[in-house]
Amino acid sequence: MPFQNDYRLLQQVDFPEDLRRLNESELPALAAELRRFLIGTVSKTGGHLAAGLGTVELTIALHYVFNTPEDRLVWDVGHQTYPHKILTGRRERMASLRQKGGLSGFPRRAESSYDTFGVGHASTSVGAALGMAVAAAREGSDRNVVAIIGDGALSGGMAFEALNNAGNMDANLLVVLNDNDMSISPNVGAMSNYLARILSGKVYATVREGSKTVLSTLPPVLELAKRAEEHMKGMIMPGTFFEELGFNYFGPIDGHNLHTLVKTLRNLRGLRGPRFLHIVTRKGKGYEPAEGDPCVYHGVTPFDPATGKMEKKPARKTYTQVFGEWLCDMAACDPRLIAITPAMREGSGLVAFSERFPDRYFDVGIAEQHALTFAAGLACEGLKPVVAIYSTFLQRAYDQLIHDICLQNLPVTFAVDRAGLVGPDGPTHAGSFDLSYLRCLPNITVMTPSDENECRQMLYTAFSQDSPAVVRYPRGSGRGVELDPVMSALPVGKAELRRRGKGVAILAFGSLLQPVLAAAEELNATVVNMRFVKPLDAEMVLNMARTHDFLVTVEENTVLGGAGSAVTEALADAGISTPVLHLGLPDSFIDQGEREELLIQCGLDASGIRRAIQAATPAGLVRMPGKA
Q: Is the bond leading into 314 cis (omega within 30 degrees of zero)? A: no
Which of helix, strand or coil describes residue 117?
coil
Amino acid at 236: I
**Annotation says 396 is catalytic:** yes
Under a CB-based contact definition with an 8 Å cutoff, are residues 590 and 557 in contact? no
Alpha carbon distance 319, 325 (integer Å): 10
Q: Exposed, middle or buried by CB within 10 Å (0-12, 13-18, 19+), for 149?
A: buried
DSSP strands (E only) in 436-512: 445-447, 469-472, 496-499, 504-508
Q: If residue 413 lies in a helix (H) or strand (E), which one and from where to where?
A: strand 413-417
Give the residue among 392, 340, 420 at the shortest CA–CA distance from 77.
Answer: 392
Tally of CB atoms within 10 A around 474: 26
Alpha carbon distance 116, 88 (integer Å): 12
Distance of CA 507 to the CA centre of its chain: 30
Alpha carbon distance 489, 483 (integer Å): 14
Under a CB-based contact definition with an 8 Å cutoff, are residues 66 and 144 in contact? yes
Alpha carbon distance 533, 569 (integer Å): 12
Selected catalytic residue, list 90, 275, 384, 396:
396
Amino acid at 212: K
Alpha carbon distance 331, 342 (integer Å): 19
Tally of CB atoms within 10 A around 92: 11
Selected catalytic residue, list 325, 368, 454, 522:
368
Selected catalytic residue, list 283, 345, 384, 418:
283
**Annotation says 368 is catalytic:** yes
Phi and psi at 505, nearest 5°, equal -115, 125
Under a CB-based contact definition with an 8 Å cutoff, are residues 153 and 77 in contact? yes
Spatial CB neighbours of 460, under 8 Å, sequence gap ≥ 6: 326, 330, 487, 488, 489
Tally of CB atoms within 10 A around 34: 27
Looking at the annotation, which residues are catalytic? 283, 368, 396
